[in-house]
Structures are given as C-alpha cells and as structure tokens.
Amino acid sequence: MTPGARLSAAIEVLADIAERRRPVADALKDWGLAHRFAGSGDRATIATLVYDALRRRASAAWIMGEDSPRAVLVGSLRLQRGLAAQTIADLFTGERFAPAPLTEAERTRLETGTLADAPVPIAGDVPEWVVPSLAGLLGDDLLPELRALARRAPLDIRVNTLKATRDGTREALAHLSPEPTPLAPDGLRVPLGDDGRGPALHVEPEFLDGWFEIQDEGSQLAARLSGVKPGMTVIDLCAGGGGKTLALAALMTNAGRLVASDGDPRRLAPIHERLRRAGAAAEVRTPRGGKGRPDVLTDLDGQADLVLVDAPCTGSGTWRRNPDAKWRLRPGSLAARVAEQAAVLDRAARLVRPGGRIAYVTCSLLPEENDAAVAGLLGRRDDLAPGAADLPEAVAARLRRTAHGVQMSPERTGTDGFYVALLERRSAHP
C-alpha cells in the first residue's frame, strides 16, 4: 500500500470507531479481515496512525476546526508527528487511493491553528468531565501530565530473576539496544521504531524461555512497593492474566505461598502458561462461573501476610496505550468501577491476618478510584491503618504522594499512571 492509501485506510477505521463507538482493536481487526491484501507492515502503520489520531483527537479537531475523522487524522499528523503543512499536502493527493487533496481551509488551519487559547480538556486531550478530579490531584502539573498522557508509551520489559539477570538479558537482546529502566531495578526499556512500534518481543528466544515479561516500569514498581518478601503467604486477589503474579513470584524467589485468583475466571486463562514459562510457583484458584458460586478463598481468611489488590479500574493511567478508552469512558463506568473496588477491598480485608498488609493498586489517575477508595475502606474497618513503603531514595523522590498512597504518572515518573496504597491490619476485626 502507498503512504496515501494507508492514510485513507486510517480515516476509514476512525470513521468506524466514531460511528459504532467500539474499541479500536476491534475496528482494526475488522478492517484487516475485509482488506486481506494489506500486508503486516501496512496494518501496523495504519494502526499507528489510528492510535496517534485518537491520542490527539480533541486537540487535532481544535486546530482543524472540525472533528471529522479526516480532520482529526490531518491534525494529528501535525501535532503528534510534527509534519509540516506541505509534507501533509504531499500525502493527500487524491491519487492511487490517497485521500482527497487538502482544501484551502485545511491548509490554512494547518499553518495557523494553535492550542494557545485552547481550554484544558482540548489542550490535554481528555474528556472534560474528568478534568476537575485530575486537577485536584495534579495541581500545577495538570497540563504537562495530560500532554505526557497523550504521547506514545515506552516499551518496557521485566527481567525474570528466577531465570536470568538484567545484565545477561540486556546482552542477549543487544540487537534491540535495550537500556536499563530509570527506576525499576529489573527493568529494561526497548527503543521504539520511527513508526512508534516496538519489535516483536514475543518471538525472541529469551522470551520463549521465560527470561522476561513485557511489563510497564510502573507495574514493576507497584509489585515492589507491596513489600512482598520470600516466605510470605501472599494472595493476588485480582490476578487477571498474571503479570503481577509473576513479578511477586520472582520477588519471593519462589519461597513461601503465592495464591492467584480473580473474580472473572476468563481473565485467568493465560496465567497457567505464563507461570510455566517463567518457572514461577503459584497456586491458581479459578472460581466457577454463574451466580451463587462458592468463594474459592474462604479457607484463607485471616491467613495472608500480604493481599495484593490490583483492582479493576477505568485504566485512565494507561491512556497512552489505550487512547480510545478515554473517549469511551463515561461517569457511569467510573461509578461501576468504584463499586467493584469497594467490594474487592472488603474481601481483601477479610483475607489479611493481624499484622499483615493490603497493597491496593490501580492503573488510574482518578482520585475517586484511589485515595477515595482507600478512605472508604478505612471508614468501614477500624482495624486497618495506612502503612508506609520502604522506598529507595531515588524512587521516593519521583513519586507523587497523596493522602493515603503514592501516584506514578507519565510526566513525573515516565511510567503509566499507577497508584499504590498500603494498609496494615492492626488487630482482629470485631
């Protein structure tokens, strides 16, 4: 496909997303199935164009003066990729499946459009209704953080110390030029290509042998902030596909008892193969489907040294990676996540022993899901109190401290927006 044809395809996908309000991955998959002549390189480039346009949807529409799929794509080429108006015009020729030539109005907007007077939701490319909450958390850092949240995310891996070392893995992957992550001691950062996409790490022999997992540096730090130690009894209550379960197993050096479960049994499906590949020791407890299913963790009530709650959330901290999610998020979705978080925190409180702790983690920047959720649990349980994490000074200096926890963010820590709070159980609950 020619560069122009790829632009036309991206506009087509963006129109499908706008009309049907569905995840970008579904729209890209359907486009690929309907256009089987497109090669893998074509599909990858089209996906990058679409994701970049969604990252800058509001600001691109602002400078172009309209929010059509074509306008958003054109504006994103300038804002996200820094292309000059003439360079963009050379791609919009109308020839060989390329989009129609730029109009005089489009050319003018590209050359003169500015975000200087744009309101925060536009300049920061987020839904207007989340700005008050984010402003309360971020203060003067609001706009820089939102702009960082609209950039492309880095590609990080966590070296599996059950099988390898960071230096050894870095040497083995030297052809990919990885560098140590700034904060996570077991992390490596792999450079992205000019198109914003990373290499196919899942086909590397070291990945197949369990030397590393793909995991954002913030997620790696969240597992470490839990304070997990070898010999503990640990429950990963919302284990999902097992990313943090694997990290916990490595930090425990497979010494102790690690139990992984999740309220949605479907999310646990990948964990078994991932544990096998990593050589990680964990017991997986899968609930049965349907209403009235028995609690598979009842026998562990009051026994856990650590309960990790990687809570279901809006994922607002991962909008760099999932930019379509921010435009589909509604207040009702936030309310549903908040209710789920309260329920899973209450369950965690029953599992932890006196003297043990809960590590509450979200990949969200919204205080309603973070400090407010912790405050709610503290209000319901008088046997719990905030705990403190043992942090290296270099890490502590970068974290944003909140009322009950710490917040990572793209601008401040260079990671996804993870929140971590520690709660210690002081005594038996009445």
| Residue in the structure block whose two tokens are 């040497």 | 171
| Residue in the structure block whose two tokens are 């996409």 | 197
Helix, coil or strand: residue 401 = strand
Query: Binding site: which residues?
Result: 262, 310
Q: Catalytic amino acids?
A: 363
Rounded to whole angstroms, the Cα distance separating 225 from 232 reads 15
**Amino acid occupying residue 163:** K
DSSP conformation letters of 192-245: P-TTS----GGGSHHHHTTSEEE--HHHHHHHHHTT--TT-EEEETT-TTSHHH
Phi, then psi, of 36 in degrees rounded to 5: -70, -15
Identify the CA nearest to 42 among candidates 88, 76, 10.
10
Report strand pairing: 304-310 vs 233-236: parallel
For residue 7, what are the CA distances in angstroms to 76, 92, 372?
12, 8, 43
Residue 317 contacts residue 361 (beta carbons within 8 Å): no
Torsion-angle region of 309 (φ positive above 0: left; ψ -120 to 50: alpha; else: beta): beta
Alpha helices in 21-79 (DSSP H): 24-34, 40-55, 57-64, 69-79
Rounded to whole angstroms, the Cα distance separating 72 from 87 reads 16
Strands (E), 363-418: 384-386, 400-401, 406-407
Helices (H) and strands (E) in the chain, counts: 20, 13
